[in-house]
Structure 1
Amino acid sequence: MEEILNQVILDNTVQSYLIVGSIIFFCFLFKRIIAHYTAAFFAFLLRSRYKNVDPVFFKTLVAKPLGVFIAVLVTVIALDRLHFPSAIDISIYKLRLQELFRMMGSALIIITFFRFLIKSMDFVVLLIKDRYMRSGDPGNHQLVFFFKDFIKVLIGLIGALLILKYTFNYDIKGLVTGLSIVGAAIALALKESLENLIASFIIFFDKPFETGDAVKVNNFSGVVERIGLRSTRIRTDAKTYITVPNKQMVDSVLDNLSNRTQRRGDIRLELAIDTPHEKLEALLSGIRNILAKPAIENYNLYFTEITANAQIITGDFYTDPKNIQQFNLVKQSVNMEIIQLMESLQIIAAGKQTAIMVAKDGAN
């Protein structure tokens, strides 16, 4: 038996073939189990950090590419322990067969590993999307899918460079330099689009506004209906649909009306200059009673100014951030009650009455 095991066939002993074959056989036989428990371990680590991780879904998505990678890795490492038979090491287009198999093994390891990374990235993206949906962010998760595609392209590009480096022994320094120059030229040509793209990332992370918010920017106000990679779509108060580049949404002074804590209404009364102070005091007291209604949270009211033609009362009041229709009803009610109060006190506004005197020369 020992003599048979030590018999050399194609530069390797029978014992070496049996050991390598057994390793490969058991690896392919148990690769699903190994991948399952390895994926379960990664799912456990993720679940310790993110409580809403679904371990079953993670194992379903990741276990298969992980099993293929483990099988390929073990197979290549096991076959590397054998001596390549010199009898079949022929030359094919100036490339030795042994070198060709080495290149194929390296390429398979890199391809299966990066396929596993891409599948893992799919799970991470779905995890981030689920997190945004749970937190009630209705619009920003759409950029997650762009990040997914962008990172997938980046992973694929890195994998291709590694194949060139470790499979074909290609010096990738010059290639990386050339890609950098081409990338710089493309960036200059697409400067405005890239600025808007970067601005969309700023909106995504900084969250100055979200889909559904009422905003005011560049003398336009309306509700944000969509946040894209290049622009933001706003339904204006006039019910038109405008497109604003994301760079302007970031660089301009933007007023997020949905984040207001109160709505403000202004009061300005210009009264006749000859209005008695008793009536002014009665008017101020009456307006304060009007502003004490439950719909108004707080207010300010003062007799602020005396000019040559008027006595001026100014003030403001604040309601909760209800919709504009309800606020306008409160404002209308306040204005109507102030007018009724002025009529009851017989107070007239400045400039309401104008006396015209005509001077007439005496008869000659």
Structure 2
Amino acid sequence: MKEILSSTLFDNTISDYLVVIGIIALAWLMKKRASKNITRLIFFVFRRMGRVIEEKEFFNLVLAPLENFILFLAVYISMSSLQFPAVLHFNIFKITSEVLVDRLAVGILIFFFFHTLLRVIDYLAIILEKRAATTEDTTDDQLIIFFREFLKVILVIICILVMIRFVLNEDITKILAGLSLAGAAIALAAKESLENLIASFIIFFDRPFRVGDLLKVQQIQGTVEKIGLRSTRIRTNDTTYVSIPNKQMVDSIVDNFSLRNKRRGELNLNLDLDTSFGQITQLIEELNTELSLSQITEKSILLSDVKLESFLVTIEYYTDAVSISDYNMVKQKLNMKVLALLEKLEIKIAGKLK
């Protein structure tokens, strides 16, 4: 038995292989328990910080990538104790196969680690989104989505730099120095993207509009559905989906209908020239009385012009910032009352056949 265990296969003894297999098998069996314990520890830290949602939701996000990281870490550590078989030695671009396999394994470890961190960011974003949902202001909802994406981009950049350092074995300081020298060229090449990114910060902190607002910008009218790092997405009144670069949103004149505190309406009555002074006076008096609708907060009714073909009576009114459907109902009621008064006073509209 000892002879079998001490026999060599691919530059390693059978006992070495059995130890490695045992460690990997143990890691496979214990990965879920170990991951749960680590996840509970992280969750405990968040709970102490007062950032808590359901534990199940946190486990669903973090447990799987953490299991992968722990299992592969055990595989990497156990396999590192073995001698790399001489029969598998070869060179690729002056890199030995042993170094290539080691760097590939390190790259996978780094990937699993940062994947876990990305899930933690998702968890924190969910916590903040649920808290923001309890407030009436939607600005905090936008900021959470924005900074979640922004932090993920930063984390991915850090992950790439770490891989360059430990997988490609390159000096990051030299790369960063090279980037600083090439910064002007990169800035020129990515000028539009940088402008849109800066504009997104301006939108979030200046808050000219928010998700859910009804806007008109560059002849496009619709509801804001998302404010991203590069562009703002608007659902138009025709239900089409338009993406407008954030720089254009900042540079353009944006008419935010959702921020108005009133709705304005106007009705022009072109009265026939046969209408007497007394009829016009009575019409204006009765309009002031009849149009006292609860939805109309202000109104102005006057004989605004005397034309060659008609007398112009203008009705200008304001309602609260109601929905478009409620506003149309007010408009219809007003029109119906005006028609009823014209019929009652036997006043004709100019241009009507006699």
TM-score normalised by L of structure 1: 0.57
User: In 2 relative to 1, CA 100–208 (structure 1 residues): closer, same or farther, beyond 3 Å?
Assistant: closer
| TM-aligned CA deviation for residue 294 of structure 1 | 3.5
| TM-aligned CA deviation for residue 33 of structure 1 | 3.3
In structure 2, how many angstroms separate the alpha carbons of the residues matched to 1:209 and 1:232? 11
User: In 2 relative to 1, CA 258–276 (structure 1 residues): closer, same or farther, beyond 3 Å?
Assistant: same
User: In 2 relative to 1, CA 142–172 (structure 1 residues): closer, same or farther, beyond 3 Å?
Assistant: closer
Equivalent pairs, count = 307
Pairwise mapping of residues 76-91 of structure 1 onto structure 2 (< 5 A)?
Answer: none
**Residue of structure 2 in register with 1:210 after alignment:** 211
Can you give the 5+ residue segments of structure 2 that lack an aligned partner in the other structure?
Answer: 1-19, 82-89
**Residue of structure 2 in register with 1:172 after alignment:** 172
**Residue of structure 2 in register with 1:285 after alignment:** 285
Q: Percent identity?
A: 27
Q: Which residue identity lines up with residue 329 of structure 1 in the other structure?
A: Q
| TM-aligned CA deviation for residue 175 of structure 1 | 0.7
| TM-aligned CA deviation for residue 290 of structure 1 | 1.9
| TM-aligned CA deviation for residue 176 of structure 1 | 0.7
Using the TM superposition, name which of 193-202 and 39-48 deviates more.
Answer: 193-202
Q: Which residue identity lines up with residue 230 of structure 1 in the other structure?
A: S
**Residue of structure 2 in register with 1:188 after alignment:** 188
In structure 2, how many angstroms separate the alpha carbons of the residues matched to 1:76 and 1:192? 43
1:332 equivalent in alignment to 2:319: no
In structure 2, how many angstroms separate the alpha carbons of the residues matched to 1:244 and 1:71? 45
Using the TM superposition, name which of 298-307 and 316-325 deviates more.
Answer: 298-307
Give the conservation status (yes or no) of the 8 Å contact 2:165–2:171.
no
**Residue of structure 2 in register with 1:248 after alignment:** 248
Q: Which residue identity lines up with residue 285 of structure 1 in the other structure?
A: E
In structure 2, how many angstroms separate the alpha carbons of the residues matched to 1:247 and 1:327? 38
Give the conservation status (yes or no) of the 8 Å contact 1:224–1:233.
yes
1:49 equivalent in alignment to 2:31: no
Can you give the 5+ residue segments of structure 1 that lack an aligned partner in the other structure?
Answer: 1-20, 83-91, 350-364
* CA RMSD after TM alignment: 5.8
> Aligned with 2:178: secondary structure?
helix
In structure 2, how many angstroms separate the alpha carbons of the residues matched to 1:111 and 1:348? 77
Q: Which residue identity lines up with residue 159 of structure 2 in the other structure?
A: G
Give the conservation status (yes or no) of the 8 Å contact 1:295–1:330.
no
User: In 2 relative to 1, CA 194–337 (structure 1 residues): closer, same or farther, beyond 3 Å?
Assistant: farther
Residue number among 136, 150, 157 corresponding to 2:153 in the alignment: 150
| TM-aligned CA deviation for residue 215 of structure 1 | 2.0
| TM-aligned CA deviation for residue 328 of structure 1 | 3.5
TM-score normalised by L of structure 2: 0.58
In structure 1, how many angstroms separate the alpha carbons of the residues matched to 2:186 and 2:46? 38
In structure 2, how many angstroms separate the alpha carbons of the residues matched to 1:64 and 1:255? 47
Q: Which residue identity lines up with residue 217 of structure 1 in the other structure?
A: V
In structure 2, how many angstroms separate the alpha carbons of the residues matched to 1:241 and 1:56? 36
In structure 2, how many angstroms separate the alpha carbons of the residues matched to 1:347 and 1:54? 70
In structure 2, how many angstroms separate the alpha carbons of the residues matched to 1:160 and 1:128? 31
In structure 2, how many angstroms separate the alpha carbons of the residues matched to 1:43 and 1:316? 58
User: In 2 relative to 1, CA 330–69 (structure 1 residues): closer, same or farther, beyond 3 Å?
Assistant: same
**Residue of structure 2 in register with 1:317 after alignment:** 318
**Residue of structure 1 in register with 2:262 after alignment:** 262
In structure 2, how many angstroms separate the alpha carbons of the residues matched to 1:279 and 1:329? 22
1:298-347 Cα shifts (integer Å, max 9, x gaps): 12337698999999877433255132543441342354356457x45x79
In structure 2, how many angstroms separate the alpha carbons of the residues matched to 1:100 and 1:322? 65
| TM-aligned CA deviation for residue 216 of structure 1 | 1.9
Give the conservation status (yes or no) of the 8 Å contact 1:122–1:148.
no
In structure 1, how many angstroms separate the alpha carbons of the residues matched to 2:256 and 2:320? 17
Give the conservation status (yes or no) of the 8 Å contact 2:214–2:224.
no
**Residue of structure 2 in register with 1:159 after alignment:** 162
**Residue of structure 2 in register with 1:230 after alignment:** 231
1:77-121 Cα shifts (integer Å, max 9, x gaps): 99x9x9xxxxxxxxx9999xxx99998998787565434323433
In structure 2, how many angstroms separate the alpha carbons of the residues matched to 1:117 and 1:36? 16
In structure 1, how many angstroms separate the alpha carbons of the residues matched to 2:349 and 2:339? 15
